[in-house]
Amino acid sequence: MAQVTVRLQEGLRAIITAGSHTWVADEPIEEGGADTGPTPTQMLLGSLGACMAMTVRLYARRKNWPLEAVDVALDYEKMNASDYPGYTGDSPFVYEFHEHIVLHGHLTDEQKTRLTEISKKCPVRRILESPVFFIEKFSRTENA
Tens-digit pLDDT profile for residues 77-123: 999 999 999 999 899 999 999 999 999 999 999 999 999 999 999 99
Q: What percent of the chain has pLDDT over 70?
A: 98
Determine the pLDDT at residue 72. Answer: 98
- 94 and 55 belong to one structural domain: yes
Range of the domain at 10: 1-38
User: Would 138 be classed as within a structural domain?
Assistant: no
HSE-CB for 45 with a 13 A CA cutoff: 17
Whole-prediction pTM: 0.90
The Cα 10–Cα 12 span in angstroms is 6
Determine the pLDDT at residue 140. Answer: 80
- 117 and 104 belong to one structural domain: yes
User: Would 20 be classed as within a structural domain?
Assistant: yes
- 33 and 50 belong to one structural domain: no
Determine the pLDDT at residue 99. Answer: 96
User: What is the number of other CB atoms lying within 10 angstroms of the CB of residue 26?
Assistant: 20
- 16 and 85 belong to one structural domain: no
Determine the pLDDT at residue 68. Answer: 98
Asked if residue 41 lies in contact with residue 63, where contact means CB atoms within 8 angstroms, the answer is: no
* 3-class DSSP assignment, residue 16: strand
Span 13-58, pLDDT tens digits:
999 999 999 999 999 999 999 999 999 999 999 999 999 999 999 9
Determine the pLDDT at residue 144. Answer: 56
- 29 and 72 belong to one structural domain: no
Q: Is the dihedral of CA 79, 80, 82, 88 positive or negative?
A: positive
